[in-house]
Structure 1
């Protein structure tokens, strides 16, 4: 069996470290890039170089952009007084895809975890407290994942902000649109039942 050149093996190894790609998927992706180097590989390399040079974390909310402040923080129309707290940038982007939220965000950068030795100071919680007065926040929406660490973090933030004169809310949990009860786990069904509403 012929050996793969070292540079190509190195590229496969780097690609294999990406989420959702293992060694086999990375090998297939690299082969596709090489076969279509003009249409895929060169534009990808150029775009990656630009992103590597310009991408940075927003100093205000923690989103990823190309300046010190992201487009959302710069948009005066989004100064609605509503602040949506998310675990990471991927969650912020998911919320934006839904196009339902018109306020601003605050990215924590993780969740509280005693097991991983992650405390409030390791997250964006102190910055969240500082933003409360600076931006005249009237509602904080806790859009954290429905995991043990996510819910622990949500309770901690709720306690921290209890003295502030803001409305605290969280995303509803339960049956997704188009979901069938037979395919849902017990926890989702229980959450949906607790959050039932009058028709």
Structure 2
């Protein structure tokens, strides 16, 4: 295997990158100056040494605790539960939430061999038991696995009457057309309708 074929094959293992995209990236890297390629290679080689999960919330960080857990101006009565660390950045980019986060590390998926014991539920319950939270926002993905995870969360927290458990709304996107919406999205939209 040539160096170019090896690079294309390696790049195609990245999520969302197929063989054609990998080939375009490889040829781009060949034409790019050597300093950029060295900087990119160094950033990739050292990323796992510099970035790690926060000991409190599980989000990726370079400092422990992460900037959000250490920020005393955040609303410490709200806790938003997400599946993956990248979900924290997605929610933060909305600018609509200023509470704390908890990253589960995935969603319950028996077909993939992922059960509750593989996710950080016990750490979540411990955080809630330590007190202070009045609302738990479940922000798992609107998929079968995300819904299963949300139901499991509600089950394990059923004895926490002081905690208001909410779930992110789901339904039709702004600017979307009804004719292009799938049945599940339409059903969720109808069930989650609000007073106008």
Q: TM-score by structure 2 length?
A: 0.92
Matched, 1:48 2:34: no
The Cα shift of 1:116 comes to 2.1
Aligned ranges for residues 79-98 of structure 1 at < 5 Å? Answer: 79-98=75-94
The Cα shift of 1:11 comes to 2.3
Matched, 1:121 2:94: no
Counterpart contact for 1:57–1:63, Cα < 8 Å: yes
Q: TM-score by structure 1 length?
A: 0.90
Q: What residue in structure 1 maps to residue 187 of structure 2?
A: 190
CA distance in 1, matches of 2:144, 2:48: 34
Counterpart contact for 1:120–1:126, Cα < 8 Å: no
The Cα shift of 1:70 comes to 1.3
CA distance in 2, matches of 1:9, 1:75: 46
Aligned ranges for residues 1-199 of structure 1 at < 5 Å? Answer: 5-6=2-3, 8-38=4-34, 40-134=36-130, 136-164=132-160, 165-199=162-196
SS at match of 1:77: coil
CA distance in 2, matches of 1:104, 1:68: 15
SS at match of 1:163: coil
The Cα shift of 1:154 comes to 0.3
CA distance in 2, matches of 1:56, 1:91: 16
CA distance in 2, matches of 1:61, 1:11: 35
* Structure 2 unmatched runs, 5+: none
Counterpart contact for 2:76–2:132, Cα < 8 Å: no
Counterpart contact for 2:84–2:103, Cα < 8 Å: yes
Summarize the Cα distance change of 1:52–1:122 in structure 2 as closer, same or farther, 3 Å threshold: closer
The Cα shift of 1:47 comes to 2.7
Structure 1 stretches of 4+ with a deviation exceeding 3 A read none
